[in-house]
Structure 1
Amino acid sequence: MANFNIDADKDLTYDAIVIGSGISGGWAAKELCEAGLKTLVLERGRIVEHVVDYPTMNLDPWDHELRGSLTPEQRAKHPQGGRSGFIGAFNEHFHANDLENPYTEVKPFMWVRAHQMGGRSLLWGKQTYRWSDLDFEANAKDGNGVDWPIRYKDIEPWYSHVEKFAGISGEALGLPQLPDSHFLPPMELNCVEKQIKSRIEKDFPGRNMIIGRVAHLTQPHNGRGQCQSRNRCDRGCPYGAYFSSNAVTLPAANATGNLTIRPYSIVQSVIYDEQKGKASGVRIIDSETGEDIEYKAKIIFVNASTLSTTQILMNSTSNRFPEGLGNDSGELGHNLMDHTYRIGAMGTVDGFEDQYYKGRRPNGIYIPRYVNLKGGPQSDKFVRGYGFQGGGYRNGWGAGSNQESFGGDFKDGLMTPGSWEFFITGFAECLPSHENKVYLNKDVLDKWGQPTLSVDAEWGPNELELNKQIRIDAREMLEKAGLKDIIDFDNKHEMGYGIHEMGTARMGKDPKTSVLNGTNQVHGCENVFVTDGACMTSSSCVNPSLTYMALTARAANHAVSELKKQNL
């Protein structure tokens, strides 16, 4: 796919270096390469070529000895990430080994990592929503954190730019709190979801239930095939139907002839040139040989994923930045955020026994935020808000688990679809807090002798109040929609379960209170850009990955412009 330059000339200088090849790193590589820059992508893990390296993409449960369960040896590699419940035999090879990459939980924090080309873009949920000015103005209006240095109008054209290339399916609604994207045709709600939608929207004016907006192709697009509703996305999609770096941005970067990818490259630090007052390159450790190598470039994009990016910046010390690159404010490592998750309600639906659905749709419903909006219901218990994700489905053969039945009738019954069920779970916004932080732990080293991270973060009072209301609202909506046997739940969880960790190197207007400026450049070292989740100043309540893509494309455009002006 690319120039897998693992024996690169150690003195070779590139126009640009991108650290990481996940969602934001892939976009940085594409935009920089297409602008004509010779670009080196440094990937911590192995190469994963699209289709070629998706070994489980077509396997059924009965094709695996343990029917998809992890072996004890596999499970032992994931004592922390395994708590997510997302690691199974068919995708375990895409998840990082916690034993080789330890971190310390000062307070419980689950960190899911993926160390290979494409990173977590091979594993993500593909829910893609634009933020609005409601989100970019929130900190300034309620006094939490610092003000964003940008507004929706600054990023809106870049949302359009990435959406048109990536392919986002969904339905336009004209909601101010959830701006519409450039959409491919939406996926379809099933019969039960359509009924529940009509009941919720009738009984709760201002609440909308829509099909999820997702980075799944519902028609062929840019040479990629459309979604086949297999719902095996986290194994790699042979059709390229969902957005991943491997299927979309890295092939585009490679097509320019300007891309070099170097795998097994653990970035130890960004090198700061004291005389020139800017970064001169990147120092890596070859994870296979242990060799230290330095690469040089005019600009550097640090896109290793939120906490790994911050770890690299903290490890990048110099006389100018003794506490880590760009850490004049002391905010590097602080303001860690996530989304609350696993709170909601579920129940059964009467009727519709004669109806079913085709395939395994890799998408669900979405109920956008409706509380603390202009002209809508207000709360005096919390600021910000939440949305819901979920869906309706029929029970399958799994309903026979743990039953004492046997014989022909029992087997025949397993082939008959079971009852309809429906669930919703809330995603609540997390406020930025200086107390939620990560820092280098020099007493716990990784396999390559590098300091690891300690994570010290927990939900605050506002998040806990939001969770209480999510549970109340979820039950009330399902009751009004006519569901039976309703169970509301709060599966209490630590930060990290949303797998939307963000913050720790936030953007801001003032170098005294932030790490990055309004174009994602490190304060005091403007040829270093950070556009992954580390840059986020607040968290909104919607999935953040589309915003990472847009911020990255915007920053890359700015970097190229500044290079042409010889300002970097």
Structure 2
Amino acid sequence: MSSSSQMVEGVWDAIVVGSGASGGVAAMTLAEGGARVLVIDAGPNLSSSEALTSEPGNLMRRLAGLMSGQHRRQAQHPGYWKANPRLYADERLHPYHHPPDRPFLWTRGLQVGGRSLTWGGITLRLSDEDFTGVQLEGEEVSWPIRSQDLTAHYSALEQFLKVHGGSNHLTHLPDGATEPALPSTAAEQRFMEAVADQLGIDVIPSRGFGPHDPSRDGPWPRSSSCGSTLPRAMATGRVQLLSNHLVERLELTSSGSKATGVVAVNQANGNRYLIPGDLVVLAASTIQSVSILLRSSEQVQRGGVVDPSGRLGTRLMDHVSTSQFFAFPGSSSGPQPPLTGAGSFFIPFGRHLHQPSDQPTFQGGYGLWGGIGRFDPPAVLKRRANTTTGFLIGHGEVLPRADNRVTLQGQVDRWDVAVPHINCQWSANELAMVDHMRGRIQACISAAGGESLPIKDLFYLPLVEPFLKGAVALTEGAAPPGYYIHEVGGAAFGCDERSSVLNSSNQLWRAPNVLVVDGACWPTSAWQSPTLTMMAISRRACLLALRDRTA
């Protein structure tokens, strides 16, 4: 993909802010619909050889990033330890803030392709059970759409991306238009059978992307926008890419009823540019998009964004999670298949959970993601002979609470751009869910004959052990918000401007030529991995915008 380091000229039919999963879909959909599209990304346009580097170079870069302070928060996530650390934002140049007693671990991918380059690649649809939402403080928090509104978009994306997944006929986890499921390891098959036999719990092959095959996929993985939607968008000849420019805010008419473009900051020198456009699509990632809207609000600038609901920035959510490693009887033989979105398994409880009457109850659902025999180190680094290593990670639905929010409190970055202050914490509902998760995790591991152990009792890790002390991934409680990198909310869409920031077509109520198509538009978090649904929402919203344009 080529990009322009020169300032662009003219008025664009559409400006797409962000080039990750949602932004790539937006650019592709709009360009194939005939629009001239400018895609703006805050980070550099890396080549595949720059982005997809390997060990031991990655390890050296991680150690440098940790010692310099570049990645102290983001290194808490396990994904940091298997990817090129260059794909994680430099926290010194791109700060954010939170109350000292309410940590938020915000992972950012500031490069063309965004976090799609580090996405785990699990693709789960939401069901009507999820879209009906939750009850909270006397309010029914529901989605303005239902399954039928996204089915065609899910199918189009699944077929284009060639994701894998079986047909499991679960009403709370709809089947997709997928390639056949990838095979499980022998250990995973034994685990799945034991859990089903002893506990009556279904364990299914995960749904998502298989391993990257350069001979089939090209230099970029299909799970990234760089390897799927962006090349297809660029192939139309109607798309230009502007990298290394951070969108600070929207420019609007004096009444605030229409966006006329965006103000972007060149990350090389801090120069600001006004870029005109007829349609602005925010797909910069949840907190980034909310921050752009906050910096554009009528409270900050005359003629700014009007939010009748007063809810902009509120009800931020992330999946609450907890994890457990375990030793599974029997050594694996032969090469280990990689751990991928489709190369793993899922226990999709959803909201179908037995909650004992003698324990605190909670609202919402969760699922358990796992794998066995896919990441064992060489035998010399294993502490447990004749075992295979497995893990289970629970991720659960979080309630949209008004006091979990993103605000601007005066802090700025090196170019005087206001940065977000994130105030988010788990409620008693999420903590009760984590207790339930841990009980289910332990029950499943025990039923299959495994032994739950901390990672330090499974592996010798001489180089990284100093960095693992106190790591949130290795604790038994709930990791802090942000850890699971599934943040959503802050600019919810809905059916009434008094209770939502966007209408059901993802448009700002009072400035309908602004769309928000990433996780910021979610009214509730559901429990499934959100990226496929974000992409489906982006495709739907952009097709609706094209229809309005031609009308």
TM-score (norm 1): 0.86
Deviation digits for residues 23-45 of structure 1 (CA, Å, limit 9, x no counterpart)? 10111000011111000011111
CA contact (8 A) 1:75 1:82 kept: no
Aligned to 1:470: 437
The partner residue of 2:308 within 328, 343, 361 is 328
Question: What does residue 273 of structure 2 align with?
Answer: 293
- Contact 2:256–2:304 (8 Å) recurs in 1: no
Q: Distance in 1 between matches of 2:36 and 2:291?
A: 26
What's the counterpart of residue 80 of structure 1?
Answer: 73
The offset of 1:479, in angstroms, is: 1.6
Q: Aligned letter for 1:360? A: P
Question: Is this contact kept in 2: 1:346–1:424, CA < 8 A?
Answer: yes
Q: Which residue of 1 aligns with 2:461?
A: none
Following the alignment from structure 1 to structure 2, what is the Cα–Cα distance between the partners of residues 547 and 369?
A: 17
- Residue identity opposite 1:519 in structure 2: S
3-state SS of 2:142 partner: coil
Deviation at 1:53, TM superposition (A): 3.3
Judge conservation of contact 1:42–1:262 (CA < 8 Å) in 2. Answer: yes
Counterpart in the other structure of 1:256: 236
- Cα displacement string for residues 278-304 of structure 1 (whole angstroms, at most 9, x for unaligned residues): 111111122223222111111110111
Q: Residue 451 of structure 1 corresponds to which residue in structure 2?
A: 418
Equivalent position SS for 2:389? strand
Q: CA deviation at 1:108?
A: 0.6
- 2:547 aligned residue: 561
How far is 1:72 from its partner? Answer: 6.0
Aligned length: 526
**Aligned AA for 1:362?**
T
Q: Structure 1: any 5+ residue segments left out of the alignment?
A: 228-237, 404-415
The one-letter code of the counterpart of 1:452 is V
- 8 Å CA contact 2:338–2:374 kept in 1: the answer is no
**Residue pair 1:21, 1:304 contacting (<8 A) in 2 also:** yes
2:536 matched to 1:537? no
Greater alpha carbon shift after TM alignment, 548-557 vs 79-88: 79-88
Q: Give the counterpart of 1:341 among 296, 321, 337.
A: 321
SS state at 1:526 partner? coil
Aligned mates of 2:132, 2:419 — CA distance in 1: 34
C-alpha separation in 2, matches of 1:360 and 1:21: 27
SS in 2 for 1:467: helix
The one-letter amino acid of 1:108's match is P
Structure-2 change in CA distance of 1:480 and 1:86 (3 Å):
closer
For residues 545 and 140 of structure 1, do their structure 2 counterparts lie closer, same or farther at Cα, with a shift above 3 Å needed? Answer: same
Residue type of the partner of 1:449? D
Q: How does 1:265-304 map to 2 (within 5 A)?
A: 265-274=245-254, 277-304=257-284
Q: For the pair shown, which has the larger CA radius of gyration, 1 or 2?
A: 1
Q: 1:460 to 1:422 in 2, by over 3 A?
A: same
The one of 155, 158, 164 equivalent to 1:163 is: 158
Q: Tell me the amino acid that sits aligned with residue 193 of structure 1.
A: E
Q: Which moved more, 1:334-343 or 1:478-487?
A: 478-487
The answer on 1:439 being equivalent to 2:425 is: no
Out of 168, 183, 186, the position equivalent to 2:181 is 186
Deviation per CA, 1:504-529: give whole Å up to 9, x if none: 11111110111011111111111100
* Offset at residue 369 of structure 1 (A): 3.4
Q: What one-letter code is carried by the residue in structure 1 that aligns with 2:539? A: A
Following the alignment from structure 1 to structure 2, what is the Cα–Cα distance between the partners of residues 144 and 398? Answer: 54
CA distance in 2, matches of 1:394, 1:27: 31
Contact 2:338 2:375 in 1 (8 A): no
Aligned match of 2:496: 510
* Percentage of matched positions with identical amino acids: 29
Cα–Cα, structure 1 residues 513 and 349, in superposed 2: closer, same or farther, change >3 Å? same
Q: Is the 8 A contact 1:216 1:242 kept in 2?
A: no
Distance in 2 between residues matched to 1:77 and 1:346, nearest whole Å: 28
Distance (whole Å) between structure 2 residues aligned to residue 457 and residue 240 of structure 1: 35
1:443-479 deviations in Å (ceiling 9; x for gaps): x210111111111100111110010011111111222
* Residues 163 and 208, structure 2, Cα contact 8 Å, conserved in 1: yes
Distance 1:489 1:286 in 2: 40
1:213 aligns with 2:192: no
Q: Which moved more, 1:419-428 or 1:37-46?
A: 419-428
Give yes or no for contact 1:145–1:537 (8 Å, CA) kept in 2.
no
- Give the distance between the partners of 1:445 and 1:395, measured in 2 at CA: 41
Q: For residue 210 of structure 1, report the CA deviation from its aligned partner.
A: 1.5
- For residues 356-375 of structure 1, the C-alpha deviation after alignment (integer angstroms, 9 at most, x for no partner) is 454424245333433643xx
Match of 1:53 in 2: 50
Deviation at 1:76, TM superposition (A): 1.6
- Distance of 1:65 and 1:301 partners within structure 2: 34
Matched, 1:7 2:1: no
Q: Could you tell me whether the CA contact under 8 Å between 1:27 and 1:552 is conserved in 2?
A: yes
Q: What residue in structure 2 maps to residue 173 of structure 1? A: 168
2:46–2:112 CA contact under 8 A, matched in 1: yes
* Deviation for aligned residue 1:209: 0.9
Gaps of 5+ in 2: 455-473
Aligned equivalents of 1:504, 1:226: Cα separation in 2: 39
Q: Is the 8 A contact 1:516 1:535 kept in 2?
A: yes
Deviation, 1:494, is 0.9
Deviates more, 1:270-279 or 1:531-540: 270-279
CA gap of 1:84–1:60, structure 2 versus 1, over 3 A, is closer
CA RMSD, Structure 1 to Structure 2 (Å): 2.8
Verify the 8 A CA contact 2:256 2:305 in the aligned structure 1.
Answer: no
TM-score calculated relative to the size of structure 2: 0.88
1:72-471 equivalent positions in 2, closer than 5 A: 75-88=68-81, 91-106=84-99, 107-139=102-134, 146-205=141-200, 207-216=201-210, 225-226=215-216, 239-274=219-254, 277-318=257-298, 325-343=305-323, 345-351=324-330, 353=331, 355-363=333-341, 364-370=343-349, 372-373=351-352, 377=354, 381-393=361-373, 396-397=376-377, 400-401=380-381, 418-442=386-410, 444-471=411-438
C-alpha offsets along residues 177-220 of structure 1, whole Å, 9 cap, x if unaligned?
A: 10011111211111111111111112223x211121113379x8
Q: Secondary structure at the match of 2:42?
A: coil
CA shift for structure 1 position 77? 1.2
User: Take 2:154 and 2:375, find their aligned partners in 1: how far apart are those partners?
Assistant: 38
Q: Which moved more, 1:311-320 or 1:24-33?
A: 311-320
Deviation at 1:75, TM superposition (A): 4.3
Match of 1:552 in 2: 538
1:489 to 1:88, Cα distance in 2 relative to 1, 3 A? closer
2:146 partner letter: R
Is residue 479–residue 486 contact of structure 1 (8 Å, CA) maintained in 2? Answer: no
Letter in 2 for 1:463: E
The whole-number CA distance in structure 1 between the counterparts of 2:197 and 2:547 is: 51
| Structure 1 residues 258 and 394, CA gap change in structure 2 (3 angstroms) | closer
The structure-2 alpha-carbon separation of the partners of 1:347 and 1:33, relative to structure 1 and needing over 3 Å to count, comes to same
CA distance in 2, matches of 1:117, 1:73: 23
Write the distance in 2 (CA, Å) between the matches of 1:20 and 1:457. 24
Distance 1:254 1:214, change over 3 A: same
Superposition deviation, residue 83 in structure 1: 2.6
What secondary structure sits across from 2:250 in the alignment? strand
Q: Which AA in structure 2 matches 1:366?
A: F
CA–CA separation in structure 2 for the residues paired with 1:213 and 1:166: 12
Cα offset, 1:114, TM superposition: 1.1
1:38 matched to 2:36: yes
For residues 445 and 256 of structure 2, the distance between their equivalents in structure 1, rounded to whole angstroms, comes to 62
